[in-house]
């Protein structure tokens, strides 16, 4: 539609122009590197999962550290933070880890689904070294390349992380709820009902045949190599390094490490390695397509001058101090309606950043508002993929999960809105 508007409604030129714009996205190296990162992360996740390293970790902590309901939930909480590479994987791993223990300690399915959901999207949005970070870096990079804003995309995203109030508030509230064992609203009723269910015997875990190192070492290589490549590409200044190059080479380094480590430790053969890599990479092609379309959408939105136009509508009536709060609300509404935080980022970043540039607002705060709003709406939406997967991981009905989680999400949302207003004013 944007392309059609730019062409003055010419249907004859519409399809060729759209195809040309999509093909033009492959002319810039950083975009190709970002797409490669997104697809290859899927391969890394698949390889780690197939190695048995995650199961070994689950078996270890389940046998040695868990003695109560609080221990079970705290274990899921910290595992969710540890496995931040992909939101769906996080929800499934946390659900797999805590479900057998939840039966013994009478944890409701709704509470378990709440744990899975809070440790998926909110946690992933706090780490730039995953598919979420790649998408956001790409969207921000388009605005920098088009001259809308100035700066280095990784630096702007890193500065936005401590301002991601919804994700931070959500994790803090979840921790308090777990530690104090205090619930309210529909969740309290669900927990009271779970306490009336007779305790079943705890499932026994088999002894792991693979060490936890199969999970920890690849993740450690990827996380430690990113700052090293940032330092190298920035010629000694990590904040001036190329984010796209850093994540590109970190993924390559991780894949090479996994190949040799798994082969020499007899975790898997070369044939098995390439098979799992192909399956994992293939599973991320859809996300890569979304990212490609997002790049093109960002360019079209810039050419349409959507951001400056919206900014001109509110420039006389909206103080720059309140821009972040407004962006947070709009992003939340879009995300709730569509059920996708990634789609919301793709829509709002090309609109919010030009508005911030025109109104001279704080760019990292506005980026954080888009991220927080997108995650907030996604967290509340019954059509969100992470909402559905979290409910599935806990064997909970989707609507029951939404109904019991909504009061906590709204509390985090209200607090976040207030923080965006306060910080924006300061």
Give the N- to C-terminal CA distance of the chain in Å, as an integer: 39
pLDDT for 241: 65
Rounded CA separation 407/416 (Å) = 14
Measure the CA–CA gap between 240 and 113, rounded to whole angstroms. 40
- Tokens 């990634």 locate to 342
- In angstroms, the CA 120 to CA 126 distance is 10
Which H or E run contains 251? Answer: helix 243-264
- Distance between CA atoms of 117 and 358, rounded to whole angstroms? 36
Quote the longest CA-to-CA distance of the chain: 69
Decide if 13 contacts 130 (C-beta within 8 A).
Answer: no
Sign (positive or negative) of CA dihedral 236, 237, 243, 247: positive
Question: Rounded mean pLDDT of the chain?
Answer: 81
- Asked if 187 and 73 count as a contact pair (C-beta separation under 8 A), the reply is no
Nearest CA to 25 out of 296, 294, 245 is that of 296
Tell me the pLDDT tens digit for each residue of 104-138: 778 888 899 999 888 888 988 888 766 677 778 87
* In the predicted structure, residue 172 carries a pLDDT above the cut 90: yes
Q: Over the stretch 369-381, which tens digit does the pLDDT of each residue have? A: 999 999 999 888 8
Continuous H helices in 7-86: 11-24, 29-51, 53-64, 69-82
* pLDDT at site 85: 62
Whole-model pTM?
Answer: 0.70
Higher pLDDT residue, 71 or 211? 71
Domain extents in the chain: 25-194+210-425
**Residues near 52 by beta carbon (within 8 Å), at least 6 away in sequence:** 208, 209, 210, 214, 267
Q: What is the pLDDT of residue 164?
A: 92
Indicate left, alpha or beta for 127 from its phi (over 0: left) and psi (-120 to 50: alpha). beta
Identify the residue with better confidence: 419 or 347.
Answer: 419
Please choose, from the candidates 148, 167, 145, 133, the residue with its C-alpha nearest in 3D space to the C-alpha of residue 363: 148
Q: What is the pLDDT of residue 203?
A: 44
Q: Are 322 and 359 in contact (CB under 8 A)?
A: no
- Residue 207 pLDDT greater than 50, yes or no: no
Buried b (16+ CB within 10 A) or exposed e, 367-396: bbbbbbbbbbbbbbbeebbbbbbbbbbbeb
* Token digits of residue 395: 């064997």
pLDDT in tens, 54-87: 677 666 766 666 777 888 888 888 888 887 766 7
Model confidence pLDDT, tens digit, residues 317-346: 667 788 889 899 888 888 887 777 877 888
The predicted pLDDT at position 410 comes to: 94
Across 297-306, average pLDDT: 74
């Amino acid at each position: 539609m944007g392309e059609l508007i730019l062409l003055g409604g010419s249907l004859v030129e519409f399809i060729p122009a759209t195809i040309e714009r999509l093909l033009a996205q492959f002319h810039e190296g950083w975009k190709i590197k970002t797409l490669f990162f997104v697809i290859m992360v899927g391969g890394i996740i698949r390889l780690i999962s197939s190695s048995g390293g995650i199961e070994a970790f689950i078996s270890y902590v389940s046998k040695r550290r868990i003695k109560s309901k609080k221990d079970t939930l705290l274990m899921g909480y910290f595992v969710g933070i540890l496995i931040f590479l992909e939101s769906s994987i996080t929800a499934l791993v946390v659900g797999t880890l805590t479900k057998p223990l939840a039966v013994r300690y009478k944890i409701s399915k709704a509470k378990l689904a709440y744990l899975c959901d809070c440790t998926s999207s909110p946690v992933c949005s706090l780490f730039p070294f995953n598919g979420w970070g790649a998408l956001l870096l790409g969207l921000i990079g388009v605005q920098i390349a088009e001259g809308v804003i100035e700066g280095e995309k990784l630096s702007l995203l890193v500065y936005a992380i401590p301002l991601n109030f919804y994700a931070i508030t959500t994790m803090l509230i979840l921790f308090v709820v777990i530690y104090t064992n205090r619930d309210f609203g529909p969740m309290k009723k669900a927990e009271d009902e779970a306490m009336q269910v007779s305790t079943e015997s705890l499932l026994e875990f088999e002894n792991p045949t693979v060490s936890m190192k199969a999970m920890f070492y690849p993740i450690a290589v990827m996380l430690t190599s990113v700052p090293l490549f940032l330092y190298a590409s920035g010629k000694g200044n990590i904040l001036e390094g190329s984010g796209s190059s850093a994540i590109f080479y970190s993924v390559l380094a991780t894949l090479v490490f996994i190949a040799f480590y798994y082969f020499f430790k007899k975790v898997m053969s070369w044939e098995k390695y390439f098979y799992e890599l192909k399956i994992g990479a293939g599973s991320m092609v859809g996300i890569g397509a979304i990212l490609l379309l997002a790049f093109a959408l960002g360019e079209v939105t810039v050419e349409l001058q959507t951001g400056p136009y919206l900014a001109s509508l509110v420039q006389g009536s909206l103080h720059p101090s309140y821009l972040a709060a407004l962006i947070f609300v709009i992003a939340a509404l879009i995300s709730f309606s569509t059920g996708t935080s990634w789609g919301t980022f793709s829509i709002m970043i090309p609109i919010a950043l030009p508005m911030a540039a025109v109104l001279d607002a704080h760019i990292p705060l506005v980026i954080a508002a888009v991220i927080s709003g997108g995650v907030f709406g996604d967290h509340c939406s019954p059509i969100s993929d992470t909402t559905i997967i979290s409910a599935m991981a806990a064997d909970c009905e989707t609507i029951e999960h939404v109904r019991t989680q909504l009061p906590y999400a709204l509390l985090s949302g209200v607090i976040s809105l207030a923080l965006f207003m306060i910080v924006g004013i300061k």
